[in-house]
Amino acid sequence: MSLFFAQDAVAQLKDIGIPFRYAVDFETEEMHLSLQKEQANDLKLPDNSPPLIGITSQVDIDPAKNGTWILFPEQGLKVWRMLVNAENSSDLSFYFEQFEPGKSGKFFVISADRRKILGAYTQISRVEGHAFSIEPIESNRIILHFETDIEASDYNFQISEIGMLFAEKSVSGYGTSGSCQVNVNCTEGFEWQRQKRGVARILVKQGSGLFYCTGSLINNARNDETPYFLTANHCGELSSTADYAQWIFAFNYETALCENPLAEPVAQTLTGANLISKAANGTSVGSDFKLLRLLQEVPKTYNPFFNGWSRQNNVTATGTGIHHPDGDVKKISTYTSRPVSSGYGFGGSNPDEKYWRVNWSQTENGFGVTEGGSSGSPLFDSNGRIVGMLTGGISSCSNTSGSDYYGKVSYAWESNGTESGLQLKPWLDPDNTGIQVLGGLGSDTLFVMADFEAKRQEISINQKVDFENLSSGKIETYSWFFEGGNPDNSSEMKPPAIFYEQFGTFDVRLIVSNSSTADTLLKEKYISVKPFLFPNPAENVFELSFGIDLTPETEIEIYDALGKAVSFEAFIDGSRLRVVLHHPTRGAYIVRVLDKFVDKNLKLIIAR
């Protein structure tokens, strides 16, 4: 360690986040490291491990023993610097055994060419009683810079490891994902602007191995912003408690527009987590999941969103995956065919299995798939709720038809094992309310989000539908509108059962609001009301009651069990249609009812 005095004729203002005299070179101690890919061969990685993107090297950097101190008496400052040079690496990250910058201390990481600066890391950055880490900076020649009051002695930090990412820029990081991928702020992501705010890239540390994964903040039934974070267990399957404390979570790492900018976007990061629960190791043992609790509350300035979830063992026909393929900026993939319940890596369908098999669809701006780094990312249903966590698959830009597999939230809920450390239920529903679905939660104190679900969406005329209010936030008023229903509106938090008296498909709309904001959810053609067929069984004559006068646009077709069209006559009587079959035989028939908006099949039994 060396010491210098520096003189300055003019007092210089120091802005928050700008290191003092960062553009000025001082003679300082330099540490040389070299990354050899052969070092990776010494790591014992599980077969299902995400792609290795780098390794850490053991060091012992202590300002009391290493580096150079420079004193600036006129400014009342002292500055410590050390230069790190790592051959064959593209990016460097730093892992602290201790990080106590003191009351006035500021720590920075600066690329030697001064083009990139990370910091300032101060008292508000540290995690009480835990280690600390700093995200990768794109350079293999780095200046470590610490400044504090010249009389200060309340600081103490030791860097125990330096992470070195492989120099091949095609391996991971900004701009490395496949050309078919779709940035989250393209048109495909316009309806997912809330959900994306919960999704973060993870720099996983497992021993001396480094990996990229993805995960999401997740809401719990208390709606209390507990910083739970959901990902996949195979992301850091062998990570220790000390490793988890140095995981780095990068929020809002995304492009501002649909196109990639020339400069890499800035992420907002947090350090460290505790393991709460996880699946047993191995993709075939259970549904792959890992629930963490971040060591720090997510700052309001990050505008976080705690995503909702569904533990129902079914998935909507459309939805998305939001992820960081190859550790790149946030992307969105879209599915337009219903995911299938199956075993991991298997075809076919089995509702009792542990995974959702997903195939992606081409969209306006590309063909979103998944890659290494996407592991652990959330699968969203069309209601914006998490239904799965990515385990793996074979989709890629060169194999867009390949399937991907997501561990089911429904299975991870309590089917992985009886202990709380193997389940989601004790943590996401701590009061055992029994809820099946939960909406997301924004961190804004004035946040509101409309959300609801019908207990059933398909009924016959003269039946009732119960609606479950799943809205969240600081809600003061509710306004429900039920097209075709009786009553057709409600201002209650939980509306009464709605009676549907006529055939058709009908919208449901909910507006929630407070004195500052409002949110609307419209579900178009959400309730489908079938005509009532009677008698059933019949001989050769039956009626269809529609609850509304029929129009020429309403048609019916009748088919036998072999799919052969059956001859009949039909007579309109107001809201009823009387049907006479010509010489039917005993058995099952399908009565198809069609009009401008509806195409429904009804089952008829002929018992003559």
Q: Which residues contact 116 (CB under 8 A, 6 or more apart)?
A: 110, 137, 138, 139
Q: For residues 439 and 443, give the distance between their C-alpha atoms in angstroms, rounded to a whole number.
A: 13
| Residue 472 identity (one-letter amino acid) | S
Collapsing DSSP to helix, strand or coil, 109 comes out as: strand
pLDDT of the residue at 171: 57
Q: For residues 378 and 397, give the distance between their C-alpha atoms in angstroms, rounded to a whole number.
A: 20
User: What is the edge-to-edge ordering of all strands in the sheet holding 458-460?
Assistant: 458-460, 518-530, 504-513, 477-482, 489-490
Nearest to 318 by CA among 360, 282, 366: 360
The total number of residues shown for the chain amounts to: 608
The first and second tokens of residue 492, run together, are 């209650």
Residue 381 a catalytic site member: no
- Beta-bridge partners for 34: 87
Give me the domains of the chain, ranges plus CATH numbers. Answer: 2-166 (2.60.120.290), 198-306 (2.40.10.10), 309-411 (2.40.10.10), 444-529 (2.60.40.10), 531-606 (2.60.40.10)
pLDDT in tens, 377-397: 999 999 999 999 999 999 999
CA atoms within 13 A on the CB side of 138: 12
The first and second tokens of residue 23, run together, are 């553009």
Q: Which residues contact 122 (CB under 8 A, 6 or more apart)?
A: 101, 105, 106, 107
Q: Find out whether 473 and 442 touch, Cβ atoms under 8 Å.
A: yes
- Beta-bridge partners for 554: none
| Residue 306 identity (one-letter amino acid) | F
Q: For residues 172 and 271, give the distance between their C-alpha atoms in angstroms, rounded to a whole number.
A: 20
pLDDT of the residue at 135: 94
Collapsing DSSP to helix, strand or coil, 343 comes out as: coil
| Residue 340 identity (one-letter amino acid) | V
Q: Name the catalytic one among 49, 333, 341, 375.
A: 375
- DSSP per-residue string spanning 268-282: EEEE-EEEEEEPPSS
Q: Find out whether 309 and 428 touch, Cβ atoms under 8 Å.
A: yes
CA angle centred on 102, ends 97 and 107, rounded to 5°: 65
| Residue 345 identity (one-letter amino acid) | G
The first and second tokens of residue 282, run together, are 């191995």
| 10-residue stretch averages of pLDDT, the chain, 608 residues long | 42 52 84 83 81 94 95 94 94 95 95 91 86 93 96 96 82 86 98 97 97 98 96 96 96 95 89 96 83 95 95 96 97 98 87 94 98 98 97 96 98 96 98 95 86 93 95 93 97 97 95 94 94 94 91 89 94 91 94 86 91
Supply φ then ψ for residue 146, to 5 degrees.
Answer: -130, 135
Q: Name the catalytic one among 133, 139, 177, 234.
A: 234
Supply φ then ψ for residue 235, to 5 degrees.
Answer: -80, 100
pLDDT in tens, 282-294: 767 789 999 999 9
Residue 382 a catalytic site member: no
| Residue 286 identity (one-letter amino acid) | G
pLDDT of the residue at 46: 80
Q: For residues 109 and 119, give the distance between their C-alpha atoms in angstroms, rounded to a whole number.
A: 7
Q: Name the catalytic one among 91, 177, 277, 288.
A: 288
